[in-house]
Amino acid sequence: MSWGSLYFGFLGVVLLVFGAIEFITGLPGIREVSDLGWLSIPGDAWRGIITFFSGLFVFMGSVKFQNIHGLGEVVLGLIMLWIVAGCDIFSTVLESIPGGEEGWFNTFQGFVSSYTPPYAPELWLFPFSVVVIYFIRKRGGG
């Protein structure tokens, strides 16, 4: 078993777990946003479904990581993770600029504080997912 297979197998399981938690906390009647200081679980069932399947594909792909189909499944799962994390980053950046009731633009302190934790699980896991680029390049690109 290769390092890549182990690495993405573990990442896939972590994504699966967080996806399941997000899905459950986002169900109608529960819809709870949990803030653990450095980690927040947004109560959003759709997001949970996406992260869960992202983890499932990454895990399934990691089992046959040596062949191109395994890598393809890992990349597909990570594309789904990047969509969710990318949207989070995009909306954080846009929300940090306007000043709201206070004025046209945010204060410097308000701007900086927009970027401090807690972050959603997808954002925490995003840096660990870009490792896949190394494996894509190693295999000779797309």
Partner 1 sequence: MKKILLVGNPNVGKSVIFNRLSGARSVVSNYPGTTVDFTRGYMEIHGERFEIIDLPGSFSLEPKDKAEEVTRRMLKEKKPHAVVSVIDATSVERGLYLTLELLEEGYPLVVALNMSDLARDKKIAVDGQRLEEILGVPVVSTVATTGGGLRELVSRIPEARRVDVTQVVQRIKGKRGGKLHTPLSPDDRWNLIDKISGQVVFRGKYKHTLKDVISDLSVQPLTGIPLAIAVLYGFWSFFSAFAGFWTDGFLSKLFDEYWLPWIQGSFPGAGATMAASSPLYAVLVGDPVASSSLEAMGVLTSGLFVPFAIVLPAIISFYLVLTVLEDTGYLPRLAVMVDSVFHKIGLHGFAIVPTILSLGCNVPAVLATRILETRKQRFMVMTLLGVFIPCGAQIGVMRDLIPEYVGLIIVFLFFGYFVMGAILNKLIPGTSPEILMDVPPYRTPNERTVISKTWMRASHFLVEAIPIVLTGVLLVNTLYWLGVIDWIGNIFEPIFVTWFGVPAETARPLVMAFMRKDMAVGMLGGIPMSTGQLITSVVLVSLYFPCLATFLMILKEAGPKDLLRSVAVMVFSFFLFGGLAHLMVALGGI
60-65 long-range Cβ contacts below 8 angstroms, 24+ apart = 60/12, 61/8, 61/12, 62/4, 62/5, 62/6, 62/7, 62/8, 62/9, 62/11, 62/12, 63/5, 63/9, 65/2, 65/4, 65/5, 65/8, 65/135
Number of residues engaging partner 1 in binding (CB under 8 A): 31
By rule CB under 8 A, what string of x and - marks binding of each residue 109-138 to partner 1? ---------------------------x--
Kindly state whether residue 54 participates in binding partner 1, applying the rule CB under 8 A: yes
Distance, CA of 110 to CA of 68 (rounded, Å): 46
CA dist., res. 133 & res. 94, Å (int): 27
| CA 97/CA 104 separation, integer angstroms | 9
**Residue from the set 38, 90, 111, 115 that interacts with partner 1 by CB under 8 A:** 90
Choices 32-40, 89-97, 113-121, 123-131; region in contact with partner 1 by CB under 8 A:
89-97
* Smaller CB separation from partner 1, 98 or 117: 98
Check binding of 86 to partner 1 (CB under 8 A): yes
Residue 30 Cβ, how far from partner 1 at the closest point, in Å? 16
Q: Which of 29, 37, 127, 141 binds partner 1 (CB under 8 A)?
A: 141
Return the residue of 32, 72, 113, 133 that touches partner 1, per CB under 8 A: 72
